[in-house]
A and B are shown apart, each in its own frame.
Chain A
Amino acid sequence: MKMLTYNFLAIYRRELQSYFASPLAYAIATIYWILAGILFKAAFDGVIDQGNYVDLQAQSGVPIPPIDVPYELLRTYLGVMGSLSLFVLPILSMGLYADERKRGTLELLATSPITNWAVAIGKLLGVLTFFITMSLPLLLYEAIALNGVNPPVQLSVILLGHLGLILLAASVLSLGMFVSSLTDSTILAAILTFALVLCLWIVSELAKNFGGVVGDALFNLSLLKHYTNLVQGVVDTSSLVLFASYIFLGIFLTAQSIDALRFQRS
């Protein structure tokens, strides 16, 4: 057991280190920050406009329910960040196994006393840690904007929203890791992951056309729906279960696919 932990930590550290040593990762981080900044500005302006509009209507005597501007800002911003991460995360996960296959280092991992599970979990935590680190500077935007608001935004709402983002990222990365284990082309892995995640993102929209049990089932598979739940501050166990299931599924399938690889290698 002790050895297992060592192994898993070794994989985790190596994975994390490879991101910090990779120019591609820095390029992605830069683009991510720029886009996040633009989206934050847009969300901020939008919410302010909305607030002004409500004020205007209230002055002219039209009864419109008032809005909670800081809360709206957080919700809108995290919403667009969710969409943005759909583009960024497949690029982070694309090399997880595809690179190992291409470099031949999978042969090292597969002949070392370490289980496929430990490798997969170590890798997932590594890339997730990198994504979280990459997102930390963005907290500054929120800190500045929400700093002076009165009454202050509930901390639990903020935390839940960010937890949602982390869970979403972990789910996407986990599925992306599985896709990456299927091919030795990183580009293909990124494209397939994006397609898969996009389907899971909008499946709730498709579900509306189905109705019935199938529609319900599809509706509940949607990443968008459950992410929105968390961002709105709704703690729904089913959302947590869904994200946990996606994460587990990704790890499970990765371990299986690496194992299956031994039999089809030819």
Chain B
Amino acid sequence: MIEVEHLSKLYGSTSAIADVTFSVEPGEILGFLGPNGAGKTTTMRILSGYLPATSGTAKVAGFEVHEDSMAVRQRIGYLPESPPLYPDMTVEGYLNFVAQIKGVNAGDRPQRIQSALTRCNLLEKRKTIIRKLSKGFRQRVGIAQAIVHDPPVIILDEPTVGLDPRQIIEVRNLIKNLAGDHTVILSTHILPEVSMTCSRVAIINHGQVVATNTPESLMTQLMGSSGYELEVEGEFAAIQQCLQAVSGVKTIEPMLTDLLPQNRLKIKVVSESETELGSELATALVSHHLKLYEMRRVQASLETVFLQLTTEETPVENVDEVEPSDAAIEGGTPNENADL
């Protein structure tokens, strides 16, 4: 449904994306994942026909986005980074306007608008002036305008930005329900979003796609090894020496944290394969008279994969510096403009 081949975009001499290639099958949800400034928005804009690419081709439903722009425009719904709303219109009036410029027949319009309002949970706000809506509602109106004409391809640039947790869940369910009838491509820098909503992930960094796969196989492929977090009393050198003797241990690093009592260290141990190392690690520590206070198995998450792929320094160290789960969310949106 979407085929992108060797797509590049230069702004002056700076390259926003370089040689990006991926494809999306009909009915699939592709998550476009990358840190701010990686080129997500640029790619989305090229796909929507808003920006021309410097080189390469992008085809939507068989039409080249630049050459057959009108044909592509008829087949896509697009939510830009900031929802394109007219503050002086009512939600319903706005959706009616969008349905008109997207070429929905007058007869079908009321039903399409009704359906978009229902899907985005906007029914009680249909008569409200957009200016008076909160950010979360505006974002939902933005999504509603992208689906109001029932396009085969839906492009969503950061659809859950600015929503509260409950709304985020609603929007994710909404997007999941779009799959099948629609082909969806969504960009995000929030990792759980991808594993929850997308059937496939493309990870983009510095304008290049570094991996494309299903979220599950990405995780198994790149994090075949499992890890343990230990809290131990003693010198790092001694602990390291003791643990290195255990067979199957790949890396041992201290983790940075200030919340520990004196003399205690948090240590991350990564094993080479899927083997269970827990009992061996504990036995080794105890036999060396090191006091073990906590041991926890760390689940491989998409987040670690993501950081491994997008961080240039030796990856695992950085994994430790970032607290899991919130790290990506805190990245926030402000600097996304850098890649406009």
Contact = CB atoms under 8 A, between A and B. Distances in A.
Given A104-B82, A108-B145, A11 B88 contact: no
B90 to A, nearest CB: 10
Interface string A27-41: 000000000000000
B163 interface: no
Interface in A1-39: 3, 6-7, 9-11, 13-14, 17-18, 21-22
Contacts, number: 81
A113 interface: yes
A107 to B, nearest CB: 5
A105 B85 contact: yes
A181 B340 CA distance: 19
A92 B226 CA distance: 65
A11 B101 contact: yes
Interface in A208-265: 262-263, 265
B86 A7 contact: no
Q: Which secondary structure characterizes the binding site on chain A?
A: helix
B50 A3 contact: no
B222 interface: no
A7 B100 contact: yes
A266 B340 contact: yes
A113 B85 contact: no
A192 interface: no
Contact of B102 (A103, A105, A113): A113
Contact of B78 (A3, A106, A111): A111
Contact of A112 (B45, B93, B102): B102
A137 to B, nearest CB: 24
Q: Which secondary structure characterizes the binding site on chain B?
A: loop
A138 interface: no
Interface in A170-212: none
A266 B145 contact: no
A7 B97 CA distance: 9
B13 to A, nearest CB: 11
A84 interface: no
A113 B74 CA distance: 5
A105 B84 contact: yes
A188 to B, nearest CB: 21
Contacts of B101: 6-7, 10-11, 108-109, 112-114
A121 B88 CA distance: 21
B300 interface: no
Contacts of B62: none
Nearest to A9: B100
B84 A262 contact: no
Interface string B63-84: 0000000100110101010111
Interface string B85-96: 111110001000
Question: Interface size bucket, B side?
Answer: 20 to 34
Contact of B12 (A17, A22, A104, A266): A266
A205 B145 CA distance: 52
B44 to A, nearest CB: 10
Contacts of A112: 73, 98, 101-102
A13 B49 CA distance: 25
B84 A113 contact: no
Given A10-B97, A108-B145, A3 B88 contact: no
Most B Cβ at <10 Å: residue of A9, A22, A110: A110
B76 A3 contact: no
B85 A110 contact: no
Contact of B76 (A9, A104, A110, A111): A111
Contacts of A113: 70, 73-74, 101-103
A105 B50 CA distance: 12
Contacts of B73: 111-114
B48 interface: yes
Most A Cβ at <10 Å: residue of B82, B84, B85, B89: B84
Nearest to A20: B88
A111 B48 contact: yes
B16 to A, nearest CB: 9
Nearest to A266: B11
A141 B97 CA distance: 38
A13 B86 CA distance: 13
Contacts of B136: none
Contacts of A10: 97, 100-101
Nearest to A18: B88
25 contacts: A6-B103, A6-B106, A13-B97, A14-B86, A18-B86, A21-B89, A103-B85, A104-B80, A104-B83, A104-B84, A105-B84, A105-B85, A107-B45, A107-B50, A107-B78, A107-B84, A108-B84, A108-B98, A111-B73, A111-B80, A112-B73, A113-B103, A114-B73, A265-B51, A265-B340
Given A18-B86, A104-B83, 16 more contacts: A7-B100, A7-B103, A10-B97, A17-B89, A17-B93, A103-B85, A103-B86, A104-B80, A105-B84, A107-B45, A107-B84, A108-B84, A111-B50, A111-B80, A112-B98, A262-B50
Interface of B: 11-12, 45, 48-52, 70, 73-74, 76, 78, 80, 82-89, 93, 97-98, 100-103, 106, 145, 340
Interface of A: 3, 6-7, 9-11, 13-14, 17-18, 21-22, 103-115, 262-263, 265-266
The 6 closest A-B pairs by CB, nearest first: A10-B100, A108-B84, A266-B11, A105-B84, A113-B73, A3-B103
